[in-house]
Chains A and B, each alone.
Chain A
Amino acid sequence: MRYREVGATLGYLLMIFSASFILPMIVGAYYNEGALYIYKAYVIPFLICASTGCIMWYHSRNRVRNLKEGDAYVVVGLGWLIIAFFGALPYITGGTITNPIDAYFESMSGFTTTGASVIDPAIGNYLDVYPHSILFWRALTNWLGGLGIIVLGAVILARFMHGGVYLFKAEMASTSVTRLRPKLYQTARILWGVYGLLTALCIIFYMGAGMSLYHAVCIAMPTLASGGFSLHGDSIGFYASPAVEIVAIVFMFLSGVNFVLHYRFITGRFKDALNDPELKFFFVWVIFMTSLVILGLALSGTMGVSGILRDGAFQAVSCATNTGFTTQNGLALWPPFVHLILIFLMLTGGMVGSTCGGLKMSRVMILLKNLRNGMIKAIHPRAVLSVKIGGKAVPETVVARIQILLLIFIMLFGISVLLLCASGIGIVDSISAVASCMTNTGVGIFNPEYGFHLMNPFARIVLTVCMWMGRLEIFTALIVLAPSTYKR
């Protein structure tokens, strides 16, 4: 790793990122939250962030051009940690969440689109307690993290920065990104455009379903980012409106679809978009699992028919796309069978190139097909086999990499659960908390009267790391953590 190259690039990214503090300032001014609060909560972080970026950039400004692949992993890995740090400042300086560990947890949960919150849901309507602007900032962190904040920075800075390809590879994860244009930053610009367009659509639909503009914006951003921050302790259940839930289900599902397919669909290439094997698999998978959830709820016999359909479908889609919205607080009372299915849905995740977390559908497909190949190989030892997706063979190196990813994922999962248990949290709560954070879902299937807001600081730190690793699909995070990266 070369410190100055990494530092200069991070400096650039921080300078760009500091601009995002301006939006909550406007919201705060609109809702008359007072100049002092706005100054403390947003102007100070803005100045700190921008000047830090400036100093880092200025210190080694002539090295920005030389970013190499190894450095890019460090930029992305550290970048998420640092941006989450600056994103936590408004909570601390504004006085809304004063404990630094809690604020960092909240910020990381926002940027990684997890949506796990330290705010006590018993408060009810958060707007009664917190200013509008800070809740807007929370939703905004979700949205910015959705398609990857480093890539967003790289797209804006494409003219000045080199090595963008490597940043993409490090952030957009192990599977290759389908390129719509010869230059990656052009592709990323298109994807962000599609993302913005869908968010705007979602805002309009939410307003159509009866929300105010503020609510629509603050819910639509987490919906498309598959984040899960909401404005009330009851999450979406607060609105008690079937229309809102249907809009949420549709847009949560869309957020789980590869944005390249959205682009194809928008530009009129319906056939290309709908014939995608991963999309078909995702669709069937979600329908199948949703019906299992509904079946499980029906067998338990504790809820009415409309409740089963509405809550069951909502919760299944919310977990499958790693969003983490809920419609009711009684999740803990659902049968264990349903809990397990929901956790399983979180782990498998949405499609590659979406805003979801988890393992991702195409990897699940490859793993399943590889499993079948293994069985064929047992019967026909000399068979020459390949894993095919959509008629195209997946290179063996990719298959091997996915298997390694799964293995590391399981290992880290086990270690994190162990650490949580060691800090005194029950086994079920530990497993569900880690699953929820590593897949960036954010809904915890806890024992009644338990939640992220009650956890001890140690567990929060462990879960923060889990969220960070999960968002970077582990490899990038491991590179940052490996001591060999820092040897010259």
Chain B
Amino acid sequence: MYVVIAGAGHVGAHIAEALLEQGHSVAVIESDMKRFENIEAMDVLAIHGNAASPKNLADAGINSANMLVAVTGSDETNIIACVIGKSKGCKTIARLRSPDYLREGVGTGNLDVFGMDLVVSPDVVTANHISRSLLLPSLVESGELSEGQSLIIELRLSEGNPTLRRMLGSIQLPPGAIICSVSRNGQLLLPERVGPLELGDRIILVLDSRMLVANVETAFGVTKGGGTAVGGRLETGIDKIVIVGATKTGIQVAKKLENEKAMIVMDTNTERCQHARDVLEKAIVIHGDATDSALFIDEGLGDASVLVATTKNTDFNMLSCLLAKKRGVTRTMAIVDEPELKLLFEQIGVDMAVSPRMMTVDFILQNILGKQISSTQTTLHGSGITVLEVLVKDTLWMVGKEFGNIKFPRGAFVGSVIRGGKAIKPTRFDTIMPGDRIIMMAPQDSLHKVEKLFSYHSGTWRFR
């Protein structure tokens, strides 16, 4: 596949790198000299200049490209580039930040109003992720499988968990949930080899996306306050949410949950507060500094269940999270600019750090690669585990063979198989059928071997 990428910032460069890794051809247009020089060191066709210029796009080979990914810093440039790309018959993906360019009712999937194939709003993607995690309190990380039909989740066992030192088999799981693997000290273990559960184990499960994650969590006893499903709605023990920073992301999260939870939005900027007041209906908007201890006590924020710091200032986010934790808030989440800082944040006590850039990259890549090739990688950012999902085509060499007869690379094993929309745990003697989606668990360094194993098709010995 030939992909033209407009903009070589963090997101553009990451996408280019991932596509090259998969063996695709990439052209990149970038106007900033520094970034251009960086991108030129990669095996891509690099063009220096404005990405909205038809000439530059032509130089980048838009006429023969399959896809255009517009991720420059400017929405307008992205739109113009995509309009040109569309006229040349490309599939187009654009990152748009300003709500002015997005379809109303954000968060419902298709945001596009310009005829692009996919529009990514980092704020919406991040807000969706945050609000999903807010409803599932102990969930470390989740990802979607088989185009949204199934969900892969990762649970971390913390101190005082009732399942500690118990065997996996003794845990009563709700039907439809399959344990793929347990990650212990960075190693992926086969479920039957796990033994008694230990502190810090991360349990990786696949389940139907219509199922309530809370049920699984109850089974593992990890939900604060029990967690029961009431009429399809989630009651997860969260009652009061504080959002620091009336940014686009902050407002998105507040909007999504303000009808269900007590919501407090704080910002130090008067204008942003007024804007938040105008957009939000039930949430309380407070003009003030979240790190101000007097205000914190006055407003009684200490008894909040969650504090989400969504300001543009990463340092401030960290500070407000750590202070809030000290003043009694149960969980904190922060937005970080640099993906590299994410793990650091989680190490020093922020419960979950979200990088909008990383979310954008993952979202775009899933959409590019998920449709082109039959295998998708989903990374659970908490533990850095990458899960490989392979769609079995009827020409794949292993169709009709039994799972037990296939020699997988060392350390790799089948976590689960999604057959007919249902997750099952295959035995050695189950045969592989076309249409199966195999969830492979593998250590990072042998992932490419697993992918290669699935790339041989009958009648041909060539690499895909």
Contact = CB atoms under 8 A, between A and B. Distances in A.
Contact of B45 (A164, A169, A181): A181
Nearest to B61: A182
Contacts of B45: 179, 181-182
Contact of A182 (B25, B40, B463): B25
Contacts of A164: 43
Contacts of A159: 463
A183 B43 contact: yes
A186 B42 CA distance: 14
B61 A165 contact: no
B357 to A, nearest CB: 24
Nearest to B60: A182
Size bin of chain B's contact surface: 10 to 19
Interface in B36-63: 40-46, 61
B409 to A, nearest CB: 13
Contact of B27 (A165, A169, A182, A395): A182
B406 interface: no
B42 A182 contact: no
A184 interface: yes
B2 A182 contact: yes
B44 A182 contact: yes
B26 interface: yes
Contacts of A69: 41
Given A159-B463, A395-B33, A183 B25 contact: yes
A164 B43 CA distance: 8
B33 A184 contact: no
A302 interface: no
A169 B41 CA distance: 9
A412 B244 CA distance: 64
A169 B40 CA distance: 11
A165 B42 contact: yes
B40 to A, nearest CB: 7
A184 B25 contact: no
A176 interface: yes
Interface string A154-190: 0000010000110001000000100101111110000
Interface string B350-383: 0000000000000000000000000000000000
A182 B27 CA distance: 6
Contacts of A176: 40
A169 B43 CA distance: 11
A184 B27 CA distance: 11
Interface in B3-40: 25-27, 33, 40
Chain B facing A: main interface SS: mixed
Interface in B435-464: 463
Interface in A180-202: 181-186
Nearest to B28: A182
A183 B2 CA distance: 10
Contacts of A179: 45-46
Contacts of A395: 33
A176 B2 CA distance: 22
B38 to A, nearest CB: 12
Most chain B CB inside 10 Å of its own CB: which residue of A164, A165, A169, A176: A165
Given A159-B463, A182-B2, A165 B33 contact: no
B50 to A, nearest CB: 15
B41 A181 contact: no
B41 A165 contact: yes
Contacts of A184: 43
Nearest to B448: A65
Nearest to B26: A182
Interface in A382-403: 395
B340 to A, nearest CB: 19
Contacts of B463: 159
A102 B25 CA distance: 45
A181 B46 CA distance: 10
B43 A181 contact: no
Given A159-B463, A165-B43, A181 B33 contact: no
A182 B40 CA distance: 11
Contacts of A185: 43
A481 B44 CA distance: 30
Contacts of B41: 69, 165, 169
Contacts of A165: 41-43
Nearest to A62: B445
B4 to A, nearest CB: 9
Contacts of B40: 176
Most chain A CB inside 10 Å of its own CB: which residue of B26, B27, B43: B43
A299 B296 CA distance: 97
A186 B20 CA distance: 14
A395 B33 CA distance: 9
A72 B2 CA distance: 26
A169 to B, nearest CB: 8
A264 to B, nearest CB: 13
Nearest to B42: A165
A185 B463 CA distance: 17
Nearest to B44: A182
Most chain B CB inside 10 Å of its own CB: which residue of A169, A179, A395: A179
B452 to A, nearest CB: 12
A323 to B, nearest CB: 32
Contacts of A169: 41
A181 B25 contact: yes
A130 to B, nearest CB: 43
Most chain A CB inside 10 Å of its own CB: which residue of B2, B40, B45, B46: B45
B18 to A, nearest CB: 15
Most chain B CB inside 10 Å of its own CB: which residue of A183, A185, A395: A183
A154 to B, nearest CB: 11
Contacts of B27: 182
Contacts of A183: 25, 43
A186 B41 CA distance: 16
Nearest to B40: A176
A351 B27 CA distance: 26
Most chain B CB inside 10 Å of its own CB: which residue of A169, A181, A185: A181
Contacts of B46: 179
Contacts of A182: 2, 25-27, 44-45, 61
Nearest to B36: A395
A169 B25 CA distance: 19
B448 to A, nearest CB: 9
A185 B26 CA distance: 13
Contacts of B2: 182
A169 B46 CA distance: 14
A184 B41 CA distance: 11
B365 to A, nearest CB: 18
Nearest to A159: B463
Nearest to B27: A182
Contacts of B61: 182
A164 B41 CA distance: 11
Interface string A391-426: 000010000000000000000000000000000000
Given A182-B25, A182-B61, 4 more contacts: A165-B42, A176-B40, A183-B43, A185-B43
25 contacts: A69-B41, A159-B463, A164-B43, A165-B41, A165-B42, A165-B43, A169-B41, A176-B40, A179-B45, A179-B46, A181-B25, A181-B45, A182-B2, A182-B25, A182-B26, A182-B27, A182-B44, A182-B45, A182-B61, A183-B25, A183-B43, A184-B43, A185-B43, A186-B25, A395-B33
Interface of A: 69, 159, 164-165, 169, 176, 179, 181-186, 395
| Pairs of residues from A and B, 9 with the lowest C-beta to C-beta distance, nearest first | A182-B25, A182-B45, A165-B43, A179-B45, A182-B27, A183-B25, A184-B43, A182-B26, A183-B43
